[in-house]
Amino acid sequence: MYQVIFSDVDGTLLNQNHQVTPLTQKALHQLMERNIPFVVVSARSPSGIFPILKDYQLKASIIAYNGALVMDQQRHILAEKGMVTTTALQVLKELETFDVAWCVYSFDQWFVKSRHDERILREESIVKAQSLEATLEDLQTLSTVHKILCICHSSDIFTIKQHLQQAFPQCTIVRSSDILIEIVDLGINKAKAVQKLCQLWHIPLKNVVAFGDQYNDLDMLMEVGYGWAMGNAPVDIQKKVGRVTQDNNHDGIYHALKSLDKKEEHGM
């Protein structure tokens, strides 16, 4: 029935304590035993994903930066597409007019304005990776920028997102939480990265399962044959996707895969 599993990380694979629950671990290890590929699809950088795979002994290809960078289990780059550095610098200058903390990602490098900003310290603790301080002048030497992350106040997120969308139509701008805005090159999204990987593996999209909980997951969940919204996803996402599993604190991935396996056993 299904040949590959794609999963978002924060709010989906990880619970509110940023851990993989025991039952979800069990489900993922069973996938490995059955030689069904598991792919992590995240707005995170590769270095923000690798510790999860190591901690829980998971073998997985990764789609990082909402689809801008695709890597196999051996960490070889299969596909990548970043924004022009001059465009990225223009975005950053615009962000400087708001009360935000910005992050710039190029391949597996993570640059910030100040590592002492409490918002950056919190992000480092969550993803278990360290950032590097850089000025806008320092960033001019980057060959490409795969993602800009804007960490802002929840009360400002709609205004900032709307402003950026009007100012930078050449970028894809999505909300990934109540305080996070992800900015990548136009046309980059999780769905297209999933399509790319499935083409390389000769797997039809109708045989694909995907899990997610946020607006940057929606295109992926709508694209595959078995898209599941987590129970903690916003209600409008749940309604659009149709399939809803338990939340990330209550083994949502495990329960969804268990229900799919039961249907397969009964030939449904």
Tell me the per-residue pLDDT of 39-86, one tens digit each, with 9 for 90 and over: 999 999 999 999 999 999 999 999 999 999 999 999 999 999 999 999
Please return the burial class of 190, using the count of CB atoms within 10 Å of its CB with bins 0-12, 13-18 and 19+.
buried
Per-residue pLDDT tens digits for 213-266:
999 999 999 999 999 999 999 999 999 999 999 999 999 999 999 999 887 766
Average pLDDT over residues 136-165: 96
In which band, very low, low, confident or very high, does the pLDDT at 125 lie, cut at 50, 70 and 90? very high
**Residue 268: pLDDT above 60?**
no
Bridge partners of 182?
Answer: 149, 174
Average pLDDT over residues 140-165: 96
Contacts of 49 (CB under 8 A, 6+ apart): 9, 40, 42, 62, 64
**Residue 184: pLDDT above 60?**
yes
Taking residue 238's Cβ as centre, other Cβ atoms within 10 Å add up to 18
Share of the chain above pLDDT 70, in %: 99
Contacts of 123 (CB under 8 A, 6+ apart): 101, 103, 131, 149, 151
The model's pTM: 0.88
Bridge partners of 163?
Answer: none
